[in-house]
Amino acid sequence: MSRRYTYPEAAAELRVPETWLRRHIKSLPHSKKGRKVTFSDADLDRIDALTHYEPTTGPLAIVPAPSSAPTAHPLAALRPLPSRGTAVRTG
């Protein structure tokens, strides 16, 4: 069984204030037995992943910024359907 962390221990592991954990508990993975809230190692890893920020532009960006060259609109190739009663030709 993995280790269980209390609010103060989890806050110390994540390097965040304990009050931050308490304020955001509804959106964070955790276990609750009665009034006792605990966090597992997996919960702390998921919380860390949820709050991880990856830059999208600049020298540290993993994904290159989109080019400024004009491209066709993604829906430009779509054509309207024929009116009802008109036979659809294939080929």
User: 39 in a domain, yes or no?
Assistant: yes
Domain residue limits at 32: 4-50
User: 76 in a domain, yes or no?
Assistant: no
Q: Which residues of 5-32 are buried (b: 16+ CB within 10 A; e: fewer)?
A: bebeebbeebeeeeeebeeeeeebebee
User: 74 in a domain, yes or no?
Assistant: no
Query: What sign does the dihedral 86-87-88-91 (CA atoms) show?
Result: negative
Please give the model's pTM, rounded to 2 decimal places: 0.60
Q: What is the pLDDT of residues 59-73, one digit of tens each?
A: 777 765 566 666 778
User: 16 in a domain, yes or no?
Assistant: yes
pLDDT of 68: 66
User: 81 in a domain, yes or no?
Assistant: no
Number of domains present in the structure of the chain = 1
Give the integer Cα–Cα distance in Å for 6 and 78: 55
